[in-house]
Amino acid sequence: MSDPATCLDDPVPLDNRPSLETDRLLLRPFESGDAETVQRLVNDPEIVATTRALHFPYPEGAAARWIAHQPEEWLAGRAVIFAISLKRTGLVIGTVGLEIEAADERAELGYWIDPAFWNRGYASEAAQAVVEFGFRQLGLNRVMAEHMVHNPASGRVLAKVGFRPEGVLRQHARKWGRFYDVAVFGLVREDWLTAGAEIAKIF
């Protein structure tokens, strides 16, 4: 029989990470079984070229380590990361998430989608759900996002979700030996509350 005192001393943290549902997508926590898919998808120069946090080639085992870290990040209130999966088939086609700055009640939105599924509205659908989650469930006051200016598709996603352009940081990002300008977008709670109904009509 297990010693109850030992059990109390060493509680297993509850994995209470959220899932969100949209018309076509289930946004759910990544599981260890997704590591192979993530490793394959992210090891794609098409995704890495416009993503500041990713490197090519993606180091072996990096996806598994990233996934294993996510429950802790959620429990500490630092980040919420979702796998974007198709409701119809369960296939994982990307990720979307928020890096949270709790003291400022603000978060940074990030996402990528498997190039085989680009331009079908999936990033916008996922981003809209996560932004709504951020304002409603996390009580955020502001969500921001950045994209390198040679990535207009990302700017279009942000515009569709209601973000406003806030300026361009000149030569802010260094990628593969070159400096790139970075466009900054923001959405504050008061704008989201008034525009939310209009944005929802787009989808």
Residues of the shown chain interacting with ligand COA in the complex, contacts defined by CB under 6 A: 47, 50-51, 111-113, 118-124, 147, 151-154, 156-157
**Of 32 and 170, which CB lies nearer to ligand COA in the complex structure?**
170
Q: Which CB atom, from 86 or from 188, has the smaller least distance to ligand COA? A: 86
Residues 6 or more apart whose CB falls under 8 angstroms from that of 136 comprise none
Least distance between ligand COA and beta carbon 146 (Å)? 6
Of the two residues 46 and 72, which places its CB atom closer to ligand COA in the complex? 46
The token pair at 79 is: 């980040």
Chain-centroid distance, C-alpha 144: 12
CA distance 71 to 8: 20
Report the nearest approach of ligand COA to the CB of residue 2 (Å): 46
Q: Which is nearer to ligand COA, 71 or 151 (CB)?
A: 151
Structure tokens given for 174: 């260094």
- The count of other CB atoms within 10 Å of the CB of residue 167 is 10
Long-range pairs of 17-21 with CB within 8 A, sequence gap ≥ 24: 17/70, 17/71, 17/74, 17/80, 18/80, 18/133, 18/137, 19/82, 20/82, 20/129, 20/130, 20/133, 21/87, 21/129
- Six-digit token pair at 203? 């989808």
Tokens describing residue 120: 């079908």
Closer residue to ligand COA, CB minimum distance, 29 or 97: 97
Min dist CB 147 to ligand COA, Å, is 4
